[in-house]
Chains A and B, each alone.
Chain A
């Protein structure tokens, strides 16, 4: 083996695995989405037919798809800004000069983000229980009537968003905290001498200083939130009245419950396009609002 090819020996195994288990399946998904691959085709490949864009057309005329799309967009559009705002607020608190035990708080806040979604969803299902749940108990102290969080189609998505904000709070917080640490302290000192208040300092020093990281964190969170699945699978099973059925949940049902792999592949590509378009939009927005 000459030195020239040594790099391939190091990179080869990983690249081979990626090619076989990622690149080939992605290309195959594109092909699959223009066929009627279903249970009959699994039985015998001779039953497979090319259907062109029919899967996509069917999808666009399927009310369930629009419901899943709407639910997912609802989760992303409400959940991502809430998540970012909560994490940024927390990061500013921990970063504060007067905060004590920073290491402890950082760890305490981060803990939920490493937990298994299924396991913590089970806890939240109990917290959100209509009759015995702690959240309704606390609300009753404020004279608010019990809310059927997971059984009322109006409240099921807000409940899942609340859970997601709790779960992802610490991860984004730690990344934003690192960004806050890169802002020179003398900027704040100068602003203070000029008589700028806390809010003015936040708007004119903190926000511009972490803009890049905030965009990056937003992108990551958005990508994650578009892949909503385990939360509704455990907490609501997509219900009530399909109010928490996400695009990925639809893909799972189509693909692995009904074995319509052709149609499910079309769902996969629509999800991909959706994520890609949103990322591009967000990227452009971050660039245009650069100071």
Chain B
């Protein structure tokens, strides 16, 4: 039995090493002076740690600008996505309206269509609207999501009808019921959804790559990909760029992981 315990925990530690090592090493290499990581065997630790790569990113690659672009876009995308999807999901669960079941069925059927199918005409549509190469153009596909609407609907269905009927009996308006009764009860799911929306926007690559031309408006992933094609040999600089791209999302995840993972696990078992 003791050997079994030892084996399981050793394997757990080994696996954690495998998942975390690339991320830890990324930080280490980002602190190495330019050119010093391209040696054999590869160095694990910087002999002379330096922040030169970060200064280079800030002064020459305009990384601060890309960081602000990503932060701004992800924040606005999260706020808009939460507003639109939560209102819609709640309506599908708790408000009777003409055509509700038919629309829900159509949405469910549309769930199987991958986003890429829409992207070519969407590009032409945004071109006609003058939204190509704008921040608004980047935001468009992440505004409303069918999957998110159903996630909210699922959470809203769990709210007891009696609770809402009682509030109506007391003369509360529908808006008050939504704000004061429903939203607080759906809070755990809203955190999950919010993190989901933020990560989705932050990590998105395909669409911003298509819709943005001016490098001033590039988000971090697009800027990093462009940088990596220019600086194939500059490992240390590229690692610093990866650190800048990953630290904000890793921090967000660590801060909210308890809620986020719980929401993910709860959703998975039901689904």
Check A255 for interface membership: any CB of B closer than 8 A: yes
- B19, A120: Cβ atoms closer than 8 Å: no
- A132, B38: Cβ atoms closer than 8 Å: yes
Q: Return the chain B residue nearest A115 by Cβ.
A: B246
> In the assembly, what is the distance between CA of A230 and CA of B222, in Å?
10
Q: Return the chain A residue nearest B210 by Cβ.
A: A256
Given contacts A106-B261, A279-B112, contact A21 B143 (CB under 8 A): yes
Chain B residues numbered 10-34 whose CB sits less than 8 Å from any CB in chain A: 11-12, 15-16, 18-20, 22-23, 25-26, 29
Chain B residues numbered 144-187 whose CB sits less than 8 Å from any CB in chain A: 144, 146, 149, 174, 178
| Per-residue interface assignment for chain B, residues 28 to 53, with 1 indicating a CB less than 8 Å from any chain A CB and 0 otherwise | 01000000011111100000000000
Check A94 for interface membership: any CB of B closer than 8 A: yes
Given contacts A4-B96, A10-B91, A11-B87, contact A137 B29 (CB under 8 A): no
Interface centre among B12, B113, B206, B253 (most CB of A within 10 A): B12
- B87, A269: Cβ atoms closer than 8 Å: no
List residues of chain B with CB within 8 A of the CB of A25. Answer: 117-122, 125
List residues of chain B with CB within 8 A of the CB of A20. Answer: 125
Cβ-neighbour of B264 out of A29, A175, A265 (below 8 A): A175
- A21, B118: Cβ atoms closer than 8 Å: yes
List residues of chain B with CB within 8 A of the CB of A174. Answer: 261, 264-265, 268
Chain A residues numbered 248-280 whose CB sits less than 8 Å from any CB in chain B: 248, 251-252, 255-256, 261, 264-265, 268-269, 271-272, 275-276, 279
Cβ-neighbour of B235 out of A109, A126, A226, A251 (below 8 A): A126
Question: What is the interface of chain B mostly: helix, strand, loop, or mixed?
Answer: helix
- B269, A178: Cβ atoms closer than 8 Å: yes
Q: How far is the CB of A201 from chain B (nearest CB, A)?
A: 13
> In the assembly, what is the distance between CA of A90 and CA of B85, in Å?
34
- A122, B228: Cβ atoms closer than 8 Å: yes
- B261, A110: Cβ atoms closer than 8 Å: yes
Check B103 for interface membership: any CB of A closer than 8 A: yes
Q: How large is the interface on B (under 10, 10 to 19, 20 to 34, 35 or more residues)?
A: 35 or more
Check A241 for interface membership: any CB of B closer than 8 A: no
Cβ-neighbour of A179 out of B113, B122, B268 (below 8 A): B268
> In the assembly, what is the distance between CA of A10 and CA of B38, in Å?
57
List residues of chain B with CB within 8 A of the CB of A114. Answer: 199, 203, 249-250, 253
> In the assembly, what is the distance between CA of A248 and CA of B209, in Å?
13
List residues of chain B with CB within 8 A of the CB of A74. Answer: none
Chain A residues numbered 88-121 whose CB sits less than 8 Å from any CB in chain B: 90, 93-94, 96, 98-101, 104-112, 114-120
- B9, A99: Cβ atoms closer than 8 Å: yes
List residues of chain A with CB within 8 A of the CB of B83. Answer: 13
List residues of chain B with CB within 8 A of the CB of A133. Answer: 42
- A166, B242: Cβ atoms closer than 8 Å: no
List residues of chain A with CB within 8 A of the CB of B178. Answer: 10
Q: Show the binding face of B for A, using Cβ within 8 Å.
A: 4-5, 8-9, 11-12, 15-16, 18-20, 22-23, 25-26, 29, 37-42, 83-85, 87-88, 90-92, 95-98, 100, 103, 107, 110, 112-125, 140-141, 143-144, 146, 149, 174, 178, 199, 202-203, 205-206, 210, 220-222, 224-225, 228-229, 235, 238-239, 241-242, 245-246, 249-250, 253-254, 257, 261, 264-266, 268-269, 271
What are 10 residue pairs bridging A and B, where the CB atoms are less than 8 Å apart in the complex? Answer: A14-B87, A21-B143, A25-B121, A93-B12, A112-B22, A126-B239, A131-B38, A132-B235, A174-B264, A237-B229
Q: Show the binding face of A for B, using Cβ within 8 Å.
A: 3-8, 10-11, 13-15, 17-18, 20-26, 28-29, 32, 90, 93-94, 96, 98-101, 104-112, 114-120, 122-127, 131-134, 137, 166, 169-170, 174-175, 177-179, 181-182, 213, 216-217, 223, 226-227, 229-230, 233-234, 237, 248, 251-252, 255-256, 261, 264-265, 268-269, 271-272, 275-276, 279
Q: Beyond the given A15-B103, A108-B19, A115-B203, could you list 5 further A-B residue pairs with CB under 8 A, ordered by the A residue number?
A: A6-B174, A21-B118, A98-B8, A98-B9, A118-B222
